[in-house]
Structure 1
Amino acid sequence: MGVTILQQYPMSDNKTGLQVIDFLTKRIAALGAVQSGQFLVDCETYLSLPQMGPQKTVHILHNSEQPASVFSILESGNKTIHVVADGLFDLLMLKLSNHYTSKKQTKMESKGPRFELGDFCIKLGSVTMNQTFKGVLVEVEYRPCVIPGAVWDLIREFMQGFLGTLVLQQPPQYIINRLNEIYQPMDTIHQYLENFSSYRKAMSLRPN
């Protein structure tokens, strides 16, 4: 696994998510990319019950790139703890139903086609919350390098090939904080959680 960058694709009122995915697919194919299956990243959020004291939030995520792993991120006050476990962790959360409750209505997914082009892997994700479409999330991975600071300019230049001027001027804030550290699968999970949270926030701010 190399360094991964995630970016939301700005949606216009006159285009559906399917149309955007089709548009980007054609642009990527024009560069020579070949589709290599589908991908899925999902996130379910649990909240601690009042009897547990100050509220804690647990995010459980799965990534089809690491099918044997379950990623857990616990938020408690200003502290964040992350754990990578096996599939039994999902069963553990079910057994903790007396302590945590699932926010079913805010379960999020990003899924869609996966492409390969040389050392790059590109994923075009349709983001849904409780099966309602929210936007398009683009993931680009450069596999030979594991130091974000050494590869950001290369990834950005590659993304300009199919996103044009829409490419971020700077890496996501989470990546900025880890530019000189070795990239791990959990770093991709953190980026997905940040983007999922952004979509949830935008939904909550939307007028009724």
Structure 2
Amino acid sequence: MGVTWWKNATGMRDFTFIAEHVTKTLHGKNTGPWSLSFKVLRDNNQNNRQMALKDSKLLYQVSLAQQPGLVYCMVDGSVVIEAEKEMEIILSRLKNLWQLRQSVTIEGTSYEIGDFTLRVANILLGSTYKGLLLEIDYHPCTTPNNASKLFQEFVESIVPPTAQLSCEYEYNYEQVGLSNNEFTTAHTSYQYMQLFRNDGLF
């Protein structure tokens, strides 16, 4: 349902804070590891060689552990597409069209807390720590943007008041070809794309 980034988190100390708060105070259950991979590829078309790099297109690619056979892609702000995992291999072979710019795998832990699933991970880009990533699913709601207030309240209940958060609570999914009526993993992937694009994490 939602993705947020705790910008001023301090690494394992805050990761441990979340884990203990979730399991001891909220009686959540650790359900094991989870991960996501995020890639950014730059348009490498021969016709665009004279263009400034800032004018070239970027392709965003997200793979989520909860959907191991699928990958989600979007070129700049266009339509989000869902494809089989083989799309990653195809793109890696199209070096004349797309050049890998950055790639990261983020690994963390998943928790079940009543009607919520919480996924938590430290963001490390190379050796640079960027903060703590939080992904929240609210199972009773399947309509995008319908649980925005509840999502915000839940996030605020698990982080300290000093946490600097970066997140959007509502998105215009239709502008990227996604439904505003039924939430899917593609919606979560789009939220990751927006987070990484808007906050300059790449």
Q: 1:38 to 1:100 in 2, by over 3 A?
A: same
Equivalent residues, number: 190
- Structure 1 vs Structure 2: percent identity of aligned residues? 19
Q: How does 1:80-95 map to 2 (within 5 A)?
A: 80-95=78-93
Report what 2:146 is aligned to: 150
1:49 paired with 2:44, answer yes
Report what 1:63 is aligned to: 64
Greater mean alpha carbon deviation, residues 45-54 or residues 184-193 = 45-54
- Matching residue's letter, 2:85: G
Once the 2 structures are TM-superposed, how far is the Cα of residue 202 of structure 1 from its aligned partner?
6.3
Report what 1:99 is aligned to: 97
Greater mean alpha carbon deviation, residues 135-144 or residues 154-163 = 154-163
CA deviations 1:139-197 (Å, max 9, x no partner) are 11101211134322222333333225468999716x24359532221111111122223
1:182 match: secondary structure: coil
Cα separation, 2, equivalents of 1:170 and 1:17: 17
**Preserved CA contact (<8 Å) 2:72 2:83:** yes
1:72 match: secondary structure: strand
1:6 paired with 2:7, answer no
**Preserved CA contact (<8 Å) 2:6 2:166:** no
Q: When the two structures are superposed, what TM-score results if normalisation uses the length of structure 2?
A: 0.81
1:126 match: secondary structure: strand
Report what 1:115 is aligned to: 111
> If each structure's helix is expressed as a fraction of its own residues, which one has the higher value?
1
Cα separation, 2, equivalents of 1:112 and 1:34: 14
Once the 2 structures are TM-superposed, how far is the Cα of residue 66 of structure 1 from its aligned partner?
0.6
Once the 2 structures are TM-superposed, how far is the Cα of residue 85 of structure 1 from its aligned partner?
0.7
Q: 1:164 to 1:181 in 2, by over 3 A?
A: farther
Once the 2 structures are TM-superposed, how far is the Cα of residue 136 of structure 1 from its aligned partner?
0.6
Q: 1:132 to 1:114 in 2, by over 3 A?
A: same
* Larger relative contact order (Cα-Cα within 8 Å, sequence gap ≥ 6): 2
Name structure 1 gaps, 5 residues minimum: 204-208
**Preserved CA contact (<8 Å) 2:7 2:163:** no
Report what 1:162 is aligned to: 158
Report what 1:190 is aligned to: 190
Report what 1:206 is aligned to: none
**Preserved CA contact (<8 Å) 1:36 1:115:** yes
Q: 1:202 to 1:142 in 2, by over 3 A?
A: closer
